Amino acid sequence: MFLPSTHSFPFKMSSQLEKHIYATEERNTPSDAWHNTIFSYIQLSRLHLFPLGTIFVFWPFAWGILIASTNRESHPQPIPSIAVATFAFGGIATLLHSAACILSDICDKDFDSQVGFAINFGIFAAWANSATDDSFHVMLPAFVTFAALICWSIFYDTIYAWQDRVDDAKAGVKSTALLFGNHVRPVLSVFAVTFVSLMLLAGTINGNSAWYFFISCGGAACHLIWQLVTWDNADNADCAAKFASNGNLGLIVWVGLVADYMMRLRALY
């Protein structure tokens, strides 16, 4: 079965990191040993890469909070509640990402394919935290957005995994980069269109305003087009850069949801 390798979780500990960790034991000065041990654990948890990796766990949480608060049949949560929930889920996203990376290294096993789409389930936890109505038709936009998130995950992770396609083939790793092969750009175009279409559908069902459709959906569409047009799949550095740029795409969607939320509050008060 082919699955996105979810390189947004850089689980595999490099040989350089292993050498650095073992080297800390050979330090002569206690203060040096303490300093380097702390830094080694920071590297082990991938916190030195923050927010890369963590950001892809965080956006489903952040979107879910505002999707629930902009539903036409729900009363929006006050700004302090939204802010507290956003910061709290930001911390949770950081811990989840770091814990998954550490567990992978402890078990000496790559969990990439097993993690799969699990990083997107945060949308349901965040939605449940902020929703004032738990009926199915009110929750439906969260399910549609979850489907959109899956398409987006496949999109950005395939771009990143393209760097490792040769090594993956030798190691027998069945990634989407290998599955799509020479058709990667048109296939990713389909996932991009599906992502935007599902976001439009979610907004329609949720009763979002023009702010969401213009900023979130329109902005995301423009960003995806830019990625597909400018992506140099022969350049590993550009693959990594395009992958990282998807954190900005998540921000664009969130800004549109924030604008929608603020307009909804303004209409109420």
pLDDT for position 117? 67
> Is 253 a domain residue?
yes
Q: What is the DSSP letter of 53?
A: T
> Is 51 a domain residue?
yes
Per-residue pLDDT tens for 85-97? Answer: 999 988 888 887 6
Nearest Cα to 98, choosing from 143, 58, 155? 58
Domain that holds residue 52: 15-268
Q: How far apart are CA 175 and CA 4, in angstroms?
A: 6
Cβ partners under 8 Å of residue 240, min gap 6: 160, 163
> Is 5 a domain residue?
no
Opening angle at CA 97, ends 91 and 99, nearest 5: 100
| φ/ψ bin of 2: left (φ > 0), alpha (ψ from -120 to 50), beta (otherwise) | beta
In the numeric block, the tokens 């305003």 are attached to 209
> Is 169 a domain residue?
yes
pLDDT for position 51? 52
Per-residue pLDDT tens for 45-76? Answer: 455 554 566 889 899 999 999 999 888 777 78
> Is 130 a domain residue?
yes
Q: How far apart are CA 226 and CA 68, in angstroms?
A: 30
> Is 49 a domain residue?
yes
Written as six digits, the tokens of 77 are 């949560």
Written as six digits, the tokens of 101 are 């990376």
Report the domain count for the chain: 1
pLDDT for position 215? 98
> Is 103 a domain residue?
yes
Written as six digits, the tokens of 87 are 């910061």
pTM: 0.80
Cβ partners under 8 Å of residue 56, min gap 6: 8, 119, 153, 156, 246, 247, 250
> Is 2 a domain residue?
no
